[in-house]
């Protein structure tokens, strides 16, 4: 596929993908990394060039913009389209080098110099896309389809609406958030200024996926405090915090790990450890669709610490837990019209929605809890948060098609009741 034959939505994605927008879990600034503002500024420039006259960067780096309703649709509820600008800190986000490959089946050599191979046996979903153009990484970074594919689909939808004034639509509200990957995407999101009555995040996975229930999610930090003494004279004196932290991690039920769960099953996931003899900490993600089971997992983490503290008096384990987001399902169910509309948009785009729970979180979860019902639409990508992330081009085009159909349907929505 040459640059002259690439669809516009793909050109947009490639332009965004090469920008490093990795967010920072340990930062207290908004956005968490200043480099996210490079993409925010680019998006404002592009939106202004498309005639989105109010495009701007708001508090915390959130990008806002809108298109007025077409004549006769001024009274219809305003519709929102949302995606996030940051990429996950779980894999390198700098020096992204996308490559477009006509996938013919089997493995794909991503990086000859380093011998990095995309193995179809490990990622069997790729086989569904044989005969299609797929965007891969060079095996050293993530791709950024999560969620720059969503941004590309939305901006291209705006471009198509502006190119064809005959398409009727309600007021179109666009929002691009920073820091979704570190659970701070809506921290500074101003719903009133955004202006939509209902919205859709374009932040899902494979083509056809539609999501409106997600994990209740939180994070635990378990800290082990020890006593440091020179190892040459440590007998009976040293308390190695790392050893007791290792005991704690070892007692986490293996059947509750992400590797052993699927569907609606929750998990506890230790994903970062740092420290020394004197003090060490493990960060643990807590997830479950069921609120009671989520609370039980939180209680389990505290109970394991209490048991080790009682069993080993020299151990000093402390658990701190912070809730991040809750399941959006209960909020979406209050306005079922938002699901009727998006299901129809899929069908008009030639797709039957595949409705499934999100095994993660989304900006839409927090926004729904705050009164803006926001289901989640696919972007087409696979294997997010890692160097084997990839994006079938036709799937990205379909995401854009769904966005355009949602815009068309917004002209027909007289009420959300």
Active site residue 344: no
Residue showing tokens 């050293």 = 140
Find out whether 146 is annotated in a ligand binding site: yes
| Alpha carbon distance 366, 189 (integer Å) | 10
pLDDT class of 36 with cuts at 50, 70, 90: very high
Active-site annotation holder among 22, 46, 86, 288: 86
Find out whether 295 is annotated in a ligand binding site: no
Burial call 124-140: b when 16+ CB within 10 Å, e when fewer: eebeebeeebbbbbbbb
Q: Answer yes or no: is pLDDT of 74 > 90.
A: yes
Residue 191: closest CA among 1, 341, 366: 366
Distance from the first to the final alpha carbon of the chain: 46
Confidence (pLDDT) at 417? 81
Which residues, listed in sequence order, are joined to residue 38 by a DSSP beta bridge?
none
Q: Could you read off the pLDDT of 114-137 as tens digits, one per residue?
A: 999 999 999 999 999 999 999 999
Any residues with CB less than 8 A from the CB of 175 and at least 6 apart, and which?
A: 62, 63, 64, 80, 81, 82, 189, 194, 199
- CA-atom Rg of the chain in angstroms: 23
Active site residue 138: no
Which residues, listed in sequence order, are joined to residue 222 by a DSSP beta bridge?
282, 319
Confidence (pLDDT) at 2? 66
Find out whether 24 is annotated in a ligand binding site: no
Q: Answer yes or no: is pLDDT of 3 > 90.
A: no
Residue 180: closest CA among 263, 97, 60: 60
Torsion, Cα of 227, 233, 236, 238 (10° steps): 20
- Structural domains in the chain, sorted by start: 8-213+327-410 (3.40.630.10), 218-323 (3.30.70.360)
Q: Quick one: what percent of the chain has pLDDT higher than 90? A: 95
Residue 23: closest CA among 38, 34, 8: 34
| Alpha carbon distance 345, 406 (integer Å) | 5
Q: Could you read off the pLDDT of 328-381 as tens digits, one per residue?
A: 999 999 999 999 999 999 999 999 999 999 888 789 999 999 999 999 999 999
Confidence (pLDDT) at 1? 65
* Contact present, 168 and 407 (Cβ < 8 Å): no
Confidence (pLDDT) at 321? 98
Find out whether 272 is annotated in a ligand binding site: no
* Contact present, 30 and 43 (Cβ < 8 Å): no
pLDDT class of 18 with cuts at 50, 70, 90: very high
3-state secondary structure of 105: coil
Residue 339: φ, ψ to 5°: -80, -40
* Of the candidate ranges 274-278, 318-322, 323-327, the one whose mean pLDDT is the lowest: 323-327
From the DSSP assignment, how many helices (H) and strands (E) are in the chain? 10, 17
Active-site annotation holder among 147, 156, 180, 326: 180
pLDDT class of 183 with cuts at 50, 70, 90: confident
- What one-character-per-residue DSSP string does 258-319 give? GGG--TT--EEEEEEEEE-SSEEEEEEEEEESSHHHHHHHHHHHHHHHHHHHHH-TT--EEE
DSSP structural state of residue 70: P
Strands 99-102 and 209-211: unpaired
Residue 159: closest CA among 52, 294, 283: 52
| Alpha carbon distance 188, 207 (integer Å) | 30
Question: What is the mean pLDDT of the segment spanning 163-167?
Answer: 97
Confidence (pLDDT) at 190? 98
Which residues, listed in sequence order, are joined to residue 318 by a DSSP beta bridge?
223
* Contact present, 185 and 363 (Cβ < 8 Å): yes
Alpha-helix runs per DSSP H in 197-279: 241-250
Peptide linkage before 43 cis (omega within 30 of 0): no
Residue 42: closest CA among 189, 176, 142, 193: 176
Confidence (pLDDT) at 5? 84
Q: Could you read off the pLDDT of 217-269 as tens digits, one per residue?
A: 999 999 999 999 999 999 999 999 999 999 999 999 999 999 999 989 999 99
Find out whether 203 is annotated in a ligand binding site: yes
* 21: its two tokens: 């927008």
């Amino acid at each position: 596929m040459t640059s002259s034959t690439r669809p516009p939505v793909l050109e947009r994605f490639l332009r965004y993908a090469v920008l490093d927008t990795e967010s920072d879990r340990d930062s207290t600034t908004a956005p968490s990394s200043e480099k996210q503002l490079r993409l925010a500024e680019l998006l404002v420039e592009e939106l202004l060039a498309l005639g989105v006259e109010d495009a701007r960067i708001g508090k915390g780096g959130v990008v806002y913009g809108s298109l007025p309703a077409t004549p006769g649709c001024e009274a219809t509820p305003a519709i929102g389209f949302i995606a996030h600008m940051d990429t996950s800190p779980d894999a390198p986000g700098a020096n992204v080098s996308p490559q477009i490959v006509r996938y013919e089946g089997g493995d794909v050599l991503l990086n000859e110099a380093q011998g990095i191979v995309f193995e179809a046996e490990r990622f069997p979903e790729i086989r569904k896309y044989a005969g299609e153009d797929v965007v891969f990484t060079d095996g050293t970074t993530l791709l950024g389809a999560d969620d720059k594919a969503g941004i590309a689909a939305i901006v291209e939808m705006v471009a198509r609406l502006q190119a064809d004034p005959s398409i009727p639509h309600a007021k179109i509200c666009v929002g691009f958030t920073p820091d979704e990957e570190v659970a701070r995407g809506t921290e500074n999101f101003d719903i009133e200024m955004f202006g939509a009555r209902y919205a859709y995040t374009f932040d899902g996975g494979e083509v056809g996926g539609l999501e409106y229930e997600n994990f209740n999610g939180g994070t635990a930090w378990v800290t082990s405090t020890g006593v440091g003494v020179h190892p040459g004279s440590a007998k009976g004196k040293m308390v190695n915090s790392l050893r007791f932290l290792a005991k704690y991690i070892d007692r986490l039920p293996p059947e509750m790990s992400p590797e052993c769960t699927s569907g609606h099953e929750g998990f506890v996931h230790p994903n970062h450890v740092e420290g020394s003899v004197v003090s060490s900490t493990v960060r643990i993600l807590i997830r479950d669709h069921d609120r009671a089971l989520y609370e039980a997992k939180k209680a389990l983490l505290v109970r394991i610490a209490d048991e080790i503290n009682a069993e080993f008096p020299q151990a000093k384990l402390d658990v701190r837990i912070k809730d991040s987001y809750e399941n959006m399902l209960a909020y979406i169910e209050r306005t079922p019209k938002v699901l009727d509309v998006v299901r129809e948009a899929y069908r008009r785009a030639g797709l039957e929605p595949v409705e499934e729970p999100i095994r993660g979180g989304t900006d839409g979860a927090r926004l729904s809890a705050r009164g803006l019902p926001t289901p989640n639409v696919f972007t087409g990508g696979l294997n997010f948060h890692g160097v084997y992330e990839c994006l079938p081009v036709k799937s990205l085009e379909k995401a854009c098609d769904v966005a355009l159909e949602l815009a068309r349907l917004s002209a027909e929505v007289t009420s959300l009741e």
